[in-house]
Amino acid sequence: MVTRITYFAVVDDLSTREEPVGVLRRIEHDGGEHDEQFGHDLEWTRSPLLYSYERGDGDNDLYEISEDEANRIVERIRHSVTGE
């Protein structure tokens, strides 16, 4: 059972917090946690990015955001890929 989902905007050198390059989510449940990112394949897939960020690795900045903000980023990515 899912107990909590936390969303993060992914910002690199070519994007901003207002226009992030991507979105991650951490899903925490009774059995542990796992992270997923929404990609240009238009699917949520497992990602090590948040774990790397927490260890100080990586070139991206991550900012916690609301579910509504995450949905807007997902729709922007979807639109950029499909043109719809």
**Domain chopping of the chain, boundaries:** 2-82
Q: How far apart are CA 42 and CA 57, in angstroms?
A: 25
Confidence of residue 59 (pLDDT cuts 50, 70, 90): confident
Instruction: Tell whether the model's pLDDT for residue 61 goes beyond 70.
Output: yes
Whether the model clears a pTM of 0.85, i.e. scores above it, the answer is yes
Residue 41: predicted pLDDT: 92
The contacts of residue 81 (CB under 8 Å, 6+ apart) are 40, 42
Straight-line distance from the first to the last Cα atom of the chain, in angstroms, rounded to the nearest whole number: 34
Say which DSSP state 76 is in. Answer: H
Return the half-sphere exposure (C-beta side, CA atoms, 13 A cut-off) of residue 50: 21
Distance CA 11, CA 24 (A): 11
